[in-house]
Amino acid sequence: MTLGFLGTGAITEAIVTGLSMPGGPAQPIRLSPRNPSIAAGLAARFENVTVCASNQAVLDTCDTIILAVRPQITPKVLSELHFAPTHTVISLVAGFSAVRIAGLVAPSAAISRAIPLPSVAQRRSPIAVYPPQSVAASLFAPLGQVFGIETEAHLNALSTATSTMAAYFGFMGQISSWVAAKGIPEQQARQYIAQLFAGLAGTGLEESGQSPADLAAAHSTPGGLNEQLLRHLTDHGVFQTLTDALDAVHRRASGMQPLPATSPKSE
């Protein structure tokens, strides 16, 4: 397999790093020229990576193509290219159904979708792929845990869930800053909170038979500090606000709502 990327931004950098680091498959990879500094950096770091002169040159030299441009420009970028029936296409573009992508990359017929996350660079990402038995599943297997997803509706729900990454760091930052304001060195506060959450994430994985509500109860002494904070947040609508925000993101992630003209760096 020769793997080509259309769009060399944040997620491409993470995937290429995960695939090319020692111990990875390190298959031949060809990058589209934008972003030039990310593309040049990856080609300098990894022997298996080269930068093509154009997007079309990626198609002409690769059999498997990963679409990794932003949703807003995807139709225009693809409309300028000539795909072949032999191309296998894996789309990372949020909010674009497989049918919509198929219309943009015809005559290629082998289309799948995937949601790799930035932690593919460290090979510890959950990676949702649709359909489950697609080439995307084996391609991403070295980069974390692949979740084969049976329907696009389910994939879009998981895509929505990934929108919580930045908010997670917002939550962590708010707590760290609050603690640091009490006089603890900022770095120590940050390290402590990160370790606290790492431990909880480990518990969530190990105790997968227990519901989140059970785990919350197990981490709350009756009348204690955890119970107080959880009740305060619940009573003030924080979790309802989270649900409302997920509903709003879901309308975009499932293509029900048009995308704004500009978008944040990560989808």
Ligand X SMILES: NC(=O)c1ccc[n+]([C@@H]2O[C@H](COP(=O)([O-])OP(=O)(O)OC[C@H]3O[C@@H](n4cnc5c(N)ncnc54)[C@H](OP(=O)(O)O)[C@@H]3O)[C@@H](O)[C@H]2O)c1
The answer to the question of residue 73 lying near ligand X (CB under 6 A) is yes
- Nearest CB to ligand X, comparing residues 24 and 118: 118
The answer to the question of residue 43 lying near ligand X (CB under 6 A) is no
- Nearest CB to ligand X, comparing residues 55 and 64: 55
Residue 238 in marked binding region: no
Stretch that binds ligand X, among 29-37, 44-52, 171-179, 180-188 (CB under 6 A): 29-37
Residue 55 in marked binding region: yes
User: Alpha helices, DSSP H only, in 183-237?
Assistant: 186-206, 212-218, 225-235
Contact in structure between 252 and 96 (CB atoms under 8 Å): no
- Which of 24, 118, 132, 148 is close enough to bind ligand X by CB under 6 A? 118
Written as six digits, the tokens of 56 are 């079309």
Task: Provide the CB-side half-sphere exposure for 247 (13 A, CA).
Answer: 6
* DSSP SS3 for 186: helix
- The residue sitting closest to ligand X, measured at its beta carbon, is 9
Residue 70 in marked binding region: yes
Longest dimension (CA), the chain: 66
Minimum distance from residue 6 beta carbon to ligand X (Å): 6
Q: How far apart are CA 90 and CA 12, in angstroms?
A: 12
CB atoms within 10 A of CB 236: 10
Residues that bind ligand X in the complex, under the rule CB under 6 A: 6-12, 32, 34-35, 55, 68-71, 73, 77, 92-94, 115-118, 265-267
